Homo-oligomer: A and B are copies of this chain.
Amino acid sequence: MMRGTVGVVAWHGTTLRKTLHSFSAPSSSAFLGPNLPDVWVARDHTSLPSHFPETLQWENGHNAVILDGKSIAKQIKLKVADEIRRMKSGIGKFPRLAVVLVGDRRDSHTFIQVKLKACDQVGIETVVVQLPKKCTESELLDVVSSYNDKTDVHGIILQLPLPQHLDEEKIINVVSPEKDVDGFHPSNIGNLVIRGRKPFFVPCAPKGCIELLLKHGVEIKGKRAVIIGRSKIAGLPTSFLLQRHHATVSMLHAYTKNPEQITCEADIVVADVGIPNIVRGNWLKKGVVVIDMGANQVKDPSGHGFCVSGDVCFEEAVKVASAITPVPGGMGPVTISMLLSNTLDSAKRAFGMIRNFE
């Protein structure tokens, strides 16, 4: 009897394996499309194009408004610092942010230093956990989980990219959505894309973009917005957010043919490509508002060291745009200030000072 039962189980097992192979319903992942890398073809971006249409430029005397991210970031920081000061004196509490870093990439260290300094300036306490490059997934998951459990930690950021052996998606999924101040958790992203729903956090770069536009009185509703580049942390969520603000949004990427034919119809252009100066003046409509999310390290023209360059050829774009962010000093500082603002919001929620999402 016992052997018979075992036999049946084995037979089931065989059938199951056989069934596994012969089941032929279309693979569900086929519906999600091929996971192709976005490889942009860099164009010549050192010289001005010979066909740059001078006629598109404004008449003499026009000056594009420079969307000064530094000063807006400064305002936000002052506000956040003031709130934290009052929080401390009022209830004796303050926000805490945990930064998790794996390995010792130089750029990651630099980014973290910028974040830590900003936190320090406004009164957010930080703790940095650095794990060795070869740490296991489970070690990393344990660290993240431990900060999920700590009630006195209000935000957790996982410095990306992770070393290749770690499953980024899996780790991000473990960060509690209520402490996910980067806004990358699928449930936060899901609640970002659907109108009427409220994520705990909106990712910092898209939030910074909206802040810059709103602060400068740029109307979004009904405008045509084109996002060039669809990174998970910037371009893609920015497209969602602009759509929630009722812009008509087109999302361009490395497989878009003739992107300039689409960008030249846009009232708002957001560049998130990662190639210096790829967006030329002749890609733009007169009067466009340009948000440059690029932060590319390029050789300094002086020949000494490196400097940061945007994705937009500023010298050309400034001649046709009605407003434009500089690089550096545009999106960068505002993005950092949004991290502070998200962390403060999280602490306020934890302390019962705001409801879920106000």
Residues on A close to B: CB < 8 A?
Answer: 12, 15-16, 18-20, 22-36, 79-80, 83, 86-87, 89-92, 169, 185-198, 202, 207, 210-211, 214, 220-222, 224, 230, 232, 236, 240-241, 243-246, 248-253, 255-257, 262, 341, 344-345, 348, 352-354, 357-358
Interface centre among A31, A33, A250 (most CB of B within 10 A): A31
From residue A127, how far is it (CB to closest CB) to chain B in Å?
Answer: 23
Query: In the complex, what's the smallest C-beta–C-beta distance from A41 to chain B, in angstroms?
Result: 13
Residues of B within 8 A of A352 (CB): 16
Residue of B nearest to A32 (CB): B244
Contact of A222 among B27, B186, B256 (CB under 8 A): B256
Q: How many copies does the complex hold?
A: 2
Asked whether A90 lies within 8 Å of B30 as measured between CB atoms, the reply is no
Q: Cα distance A358–B221 when bound, in Å?
A: 39
Task: Establish whether residues B357 and A16, one from each chain, have CB atoms under 8 Å apart when the complex forms.
Answer: no
Which of B16, B193, B207, B214 is the one whose CB lies under 8 Å from A193?
B193
Shortest A260–chain B CB gap in Å is: 13
Partner of A23, one of B83, B186, B244, B248: B83
B25 touches A344 (CB 8 A): yes
A194:B236 contact, CB within 8 angstroms? yes
Among A186, A188, A358, find the residue whose CB has the most chain B CB atoms closer than 10 A.
A186
29 sampled A-B residue pairs with Cβ under 8 A: A12-B91, A12-B92, A15-B91, A16-B91, A19-B353, A25-B80, A25-B83, A26-B341, A28-B345, A28-B357, A31-B202, A31-B210, A32-B192, A32-B202, A33-B241, A33-B246, A36-B221, A186-B186, A186-B188, A186-B191, A190-B191, A193-B240, A195-B230, A195-B232, A222-B257, A224-B262, A230-B243, A248-B255, A248-B256
